[in-house]
Amino acid sequence: MSRIAGDNAGRRSVVPQAAGRSLWLSAAWTGAGAALVGAVIAIAAVGICWLPASGGSGNAGSAIRAGVLTFLAALHGGITVDGLPAQFVPLGMTIIAAVIAWRAGAALADAATDLAESVPKRLVQAAVVQAAVFAATCGVLARLATLGTSRVPVLAAVFAGFVLFGCAGGIAFVRSSQLRGVVAERLPEWLPTASRGAAAGLAAYLGAGALLVAGSLIVHHARVETLSHQLGGGWSGVPILLLGVLAAPNAAIAGASYLAGPGFAVGGGVSLGTAAHGTLPAFPILGALPTGPATTSVWLLVAATPAAAGVVVARVAARESTLLLRLRAAGLAGGLAAAAGLVLAWQGGGSIGSGSLSAIGASPWQFGLALGGALAVVAAATAAALAALAWWRARPAAAPARDDSIDDAHEDAADDVLDEFDEFDGADDQPTVRLTAVSGTADDAEPAEPDEGDALAG
């Protein structure tokens, strides 16, 4: 409770006092507000890019509709542009929408804390109401934002909005509300370690993919500059530059799939042994596509990426107490990473029309299997190797301990023999033996003379 209160204290409330008096009003306010904020941001971005480039001839109403369509497309529910259906969306737009949803979920958690709401059922209902209001607002915007032959299907906007808000806003709400403890108690005990390992391994692959894309942009900078000049300079190039920045996450996912082995598609397939072919749009970031098989430096990155990612996963799994648990954590982390990679490749790819760009991005199932398999195998092998190394280093320390225990056992046996000898020497009904010298033998022993008292008693 104190941790949640501390997290909430660092945020400024976005729920007005009138809506904050009721949990349900807070849910509706933050749900609808998140959709409207996302639409306003998109309208501002489109207006900045479009109106100056149109030379004053642009229509403000068209810019507003185009901005709303841009926000709805970011939900990844599909869009039709000038009669051309498109499923490909720059993931930077989706990330912005998810951040807005995350903030709305945290705001609802703040309102629930202020209202002292702690009943799990009511909190879950409030989260569902918030996501439903967000989705309904997206549906209304989709109905109003038709621009010629460009539109977003209403049902697709509602469904995509509910799913995105449920994932981003729902997680933020659970994390910042009293549901956090309830959910933590019901999670399997292996999930925290496995999820951290999966996130670490996936981050390593995506980082390597981003490094590959950045290096390819530098190597092919001349071609990238040529494509940029073909699109025109000045303010008219700003929208293209902005789209390139927003598509950077898509490029990183494609680069990770290239390093994992399956490759990706941009019209035709691109993998380690092939190059891009066919006619492609004059989009600057496409200038980074390889023109031939992988070079030596790329092969080195291909070999280093699974090794580094597997070691990172093994390091996370090392928190478990036994080797068996570490191997289990490595395997589960690989499985979770495979599922996450599948989702990322699905979101990072898509299609534009039915022509040369009918397939864009990595194959979801191929990338997921390649990623999860590599992480599980390398992490398990690393964990086993570290366990074997630790056992080998422990051997020299164990040998002296065994020798000491053997010496102690010999000393105890010798003491027992001496004790028995003393008992035999002190017995009344047995003759005593006097040892004449410490260094003498049994032949040097002489019988002791009987005492006078013993003679009289005899």
Kind and range of the H or E element at 265?
Answer: strand 264-266
87 shares its domain with 168: yes
pLDDT for the residue 282: 73
Distance between alpha carbon 357 and the CA centroid of its chain, in Å?
30
Whole-number CA gyration radius for the chain: 37
pLDDT for the residue 277: 55
Q: How many CB atoms lie within 10 A of CB 321?
A: 8
Run means of pLDDT, 10 residues per run, the chain, 458 residues: 51 71 92 96 86 62 90 92 88 95 95 91 95 97 90 95 96 93 90 94 96 92 82 71 90 94 77 60 81 86 95 93 93 96 93 79 93 95 92 70 53 55 50 43 47 42
SS (H, E, C) 173-236: HHHHCCHHHHHHHHCCCCHHHHHHHHHHHHHHHHHHHHHHHHHHHHHCHHHHHHHHHHCCCHHH
pLDDT for the residue 445: 45
Residue labelled with tokens 């993998």:
271
272 shares its domain with 366: yes
DSSP 8-state secondary structure symbol assigned to residue 276: -
11 shares its domain with 155: yes
pLDDT for the residue 68: 95
Q: How many CB atoms lie within 10 A of CB 80?
A: 16
Kind and range of the H or E element at 264?
Answer: strand 264-266
Structure-block tokens of residue 157: 């906007």
217 shares its domain with 151: no
User: Which segments within 37-154 are labelled E, that is strand?
Assistant: 79-81, 84-86
Among residues 335, 370, 394, which one ends one of the domains? Answer: 394
Q: How many domains does the chain have?
A: 2
What does each C-alpha distance from 383 to 191, 294, 320, 337 come to in angstroms? 18, 31, 11, 18
182 shares its domain with 215: no
What does each C-alpha distance from 81 to 43, 44, 70, 186, 353 come to in angstroms? 17, 20, 10, 45, 10
pLDDT for the residue 269: 59
Among residues 394, 424, 441, which one ends one of the domains? Answer: 394
User: Whole-model pTM?
Assistant: 0.80
Which residues have C-beta within 8 Å of that of residue 190, sequence separation ≥ 6?
Answer: 328, 329, 332
Distance CA 204, CA 365 (A): 19
CB-count burial class (<10 Å; 0-12, 13-18, 19+) for 314: buried
Domain that holds residue 340: 190-394
pLDDT for the residue 337: 96
Distance CA 265, CA 267 (A): 6
pLDDT for the residue 343: 95
Structure-block tokens of residue 49: 């890019």
Residue 331 inside a domain? The answer is yes
Residue 426 inside a domain? The answer is no
Residue 429 inside a domain? The answer is no
Residue 413 inside a domain? The answer is no
116 shares its domain with 210: no
Which residues have C-beta within 8 Å of that of residue 182, sequence separation ≥ 6?
Answer: 120
Kind and range of the H or E element at 268?
Answer: strand 268-270
251 shares its domain with 365: yes
138 shares its domain with 212: no
Residue labelled with tokens 């164990």:
398
Distance CA 19, CA 186 (A): 32
